[in-house]
């Protein structure tokens, strides 16, 4: 059924409650690929353990992330939804690609530098080499298109370099993937520091709007959002706080920046922030409702996990068999 379709792959870590940045910049757009592509959407629990995790919380968040995928519109009958650790070829290809990734390439990864600074007592080898595992995640499914945020472009470029290097040595093995960065919503910024990207790990809860926040919490956070000392609701340099709020509003409404500026012309900052907060909260309500319904049916979530793992395993095994043959591993004869 999928043979004539190109492949899309993306993964989300189950390492915290997802933000509206994750939603607007990535997950909400995923369903648009479902008709024209064979889509693999993965909960990358193996990536999550590069920093210390509470095991019970990691398990719970894995279920939650899968449920959020579906609550945001991903139909498991039209997309392959699965958990990374349920498909052992991710780890196997990750090791093989470690051996085709240069130390210097990994040492230049900005996310390694950032995460090392935040986890100075646990700078482990996995934290250093996880871009190779990310490349394996993508290349395992012969992926043509990878929806990525701006902060992941460097990792995608590395995956392309690794694929090209392997293909040059062994002949055509991997599809070299392209990135897809949506024009709108690719970078939603912190409500408290609007020159920084909104991060689910931000210690300041007022800086982050999470998909599952209650309506009251969402509106309260928007009311506290940093703006500036002026009074004009316009998009541009020196108006980073207002620009961020306008971006959020247009992403949820589909309006242009010019239409939004016109709509809020002459309005005070307080009323503007309230309007953006209400729009955000109301837009997310159906997602929160569907998420609650899915989380109440653990057996169904496990059925989706199993179905997705079987589909992913079948295709991952095909690629891995080709890789093993090319690099000279022996195969057991059954």
> Going from the N-terminus, what domains does the chain have, and what CATH number goes with each?
6-181+298-327 (3.40.50.620), 205-292 (1.10.240.10)
Q: What is the pLDDT of residue 32?
A: 83
58-92: per-residue pLDDT in tens?
A: 999 999 999 999 999 999 999 999 999 999 999 99
**Does position 151 have pLDDT exceeding 80, yes or no?**
no
Average pLDDT of the residues in 298-315: 98
- The mean-pLDDT minimum among 106-115, 167-176, 276-285, 306-315 falls in 106-115
**Does position 1 have pLDDT exceeding 70, yes or no?**
no
More confident position, 197 or 326: 326
Grade residue 186 by pLDDT with cuts at 50, 70 and 90: low
Supply the residues annotated as catalytic: 115, 197, 200
b/e code 301-334 from CB counts within 10 Å (16+ = b): beebbeebbebbbebbeebbeebeebeeeeeeee
**Does position 4 have pLDDT exceeding 80, yes or no?**
no
The conformation of residue 183, written as its DSSP 8-state character, comes to: S
Contact 108, 13 (CB under 8 A): no
Q: Where are the beta strands (DSSP E) in the chain?
A: 6-12, 37-43, 79-83, 145-147, 178-180
Share of the chain above pLDDT 70, in %: 96
Average pLDDT of the residues in 165-191: 87
Grade residue 238 by pLDDT with cuts at 50, 70 and 90: confident
Q: What's the CA gap between 222 and 22, in Å, rounded?
A: 18
End-to-end CA distance of the chain: 28
Return phi, psi of residue 140, to 5°: -60, -30
Tokens of 271: 């009323």
3-state class (DSSP) for residue 155? helix
**Does position 54 have pLDDT exceeding 50, yes or no?**
yes
**Does position 120 have pLDDT exceeding 80, yes or no?**
no
Tokens of 225: 């959002």
Highest mean pLDDT among 3-17, 122-136, 182-196, 312-326: 312-326
Q: What is the pLDDT of residue 182?
A: 65
Question: Following DSSP, what letter does each residue of 125-146 receive, concatenated?
Answer: HHHHHHHHHHHHHHHTTT-SEE
Helix, strand counts (H, E) of the chain: 14, 5
Looking at every residue in the chain, the average pLDDT score rounds to: 91
Alpha carbon 260 to chain centroid distance? 27
- The mean-pLDDT minimum among 22-26, 171-175, 260-264 falls in 22-26
Task: Burial-class residue 141 by CB neighbours within 10 Å (0-12, 13-18, 19+).
Answer: buried
**Does position 15 have pLDDT exceeding 60, yes or no?**
yes
3-state class (DSSP) for residue 189? strand
Share of the chain above pLDDT 90, in %: 70
3-state class (DSSP) for residue 186? coil
Alpha carbon 237 to chain centroid distance? 28
Tokens of 77: 């009958």
Grade residue 184 by pLDDT with cuts at 50, 70 and 90: low
Alpha carbon 262 to chain centroid distance? 33
Parallel, antiparallel, or unpaired for β 145-147 and 37-43?
Answer: unpaired
Contact 173, 322 (CB under 8 A): yes
Grade residue 144 by pLDDT with cuts at 50, 70 and 90: very high
């Amino acid at each position: 059924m999928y043979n004539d379709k190109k492949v899309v792959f993306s993964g989300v870590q189950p390492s915290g409650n997802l933000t509206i940045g994750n939603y607007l910049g990535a997950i909400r757009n995923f369903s648009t690929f479902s008709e024209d592509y064979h889509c693999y959407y993965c909960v990358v629990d193996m990536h999550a353990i590069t920093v210390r995790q509470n095991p019970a919380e990691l398990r719970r968040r894995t279920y939650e992330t899968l449920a959020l995928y579906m609550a945001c519109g991903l139909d498991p009958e039209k997309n392959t939804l699965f958990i990374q650790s349920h498909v052992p070829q991710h780890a196997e290809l990750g090791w093989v690609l470690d051996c085709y990734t240069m130390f210097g390439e990994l040492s230049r990864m900005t996310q390694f530098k950032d995460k090392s600074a935040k986890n100075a007592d646990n700078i482990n080898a996995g934290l250093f080499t996880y871009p190779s595992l990310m490349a394996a995640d993508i290349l395992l499914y012969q992926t043509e298109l990878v929806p990525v945020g701006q902060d992941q472009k460097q990792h995608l470029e590395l995956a392309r370099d690794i694929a090209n290097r392997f293909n040059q040595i062994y002949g055509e093995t991997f599809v070299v993937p392209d990135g897809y960065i949506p024009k709108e919503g690719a970078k939603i910024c912190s409500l408290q520091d609007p020159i920084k990207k909104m991060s689910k790990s931000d210690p300041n809860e007022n800086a982050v709007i999470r998909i599952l926040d209650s309506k009251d919490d969402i509106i309260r956070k928007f009311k506290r959002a940093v703006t500036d000392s002026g009074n004009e609701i316009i998009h541009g340099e020196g108006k980073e706080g207002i620009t961020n709020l306008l971006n959020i509003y247009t992403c949820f409404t589909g309006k242009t920046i010019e239409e939004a500026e016109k709509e809020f012309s002459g309005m005070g900052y307080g009323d503007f922030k309230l309007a953006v907060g209400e729009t955000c909260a109301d837009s997310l309500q159906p997602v929160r409702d569907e998420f609650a319904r899915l989380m109440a049916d653990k057996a169904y979530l496990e059925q989706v996990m199993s179905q997705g793992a079987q589909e992913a395993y079948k295709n991952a095994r095909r690629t891995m068999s080709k890789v093993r043959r090319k690099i000279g591993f022996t195969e057991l004869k059954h």
